[in-house]
Amino acid sequence: MKSLKQMKAELLAAPAVKAEYDALADEFAIAHELTAARARAGLSQAEVAQRMGTTQSVVARLESGRRPPSLRTVQRYAQAVGGRAVVRIEA
């Protein structure tokens, strides 16, 4: 049986798949940062949701990386985990 790492390497060997994967990198980076911030705060998705005034399923969708959240939503999430959102543009 192949490991997930091996399967990923094989799939990313195809140029078209690699291009699509790379196009989603920013969205996955945002999702990763949200999840990491929640973990650092020691909170569950339900606790973050309660602090944001929303539902756990909304927080789960934010952390999934399927759609980029609005800046306002990121700010609310950051506040809920005891942090602040910082926007940086890199060249």
45-65 pLDDT, tens per residue? 999 999 999 999 999 999 998
What's residue 77's pLDDT? 98
Select from 33, 22, 35, 8 the least CA-distant residue to 87: 33
Note the pLDDT tens digit of each residue in 75-90. 999 999 999 999 999 8
Note the pLDDT tens digit of each residue in 13-54. 999 999 998 988 888 999 999 999 999 999 999 999 999 999
What's residue 64's pLDDT? 94
Q: What structural domains and CATH numbers belong to the chain?
A: 25-91 (1.10.260.40)
What's residue 91's pLDDT? 87
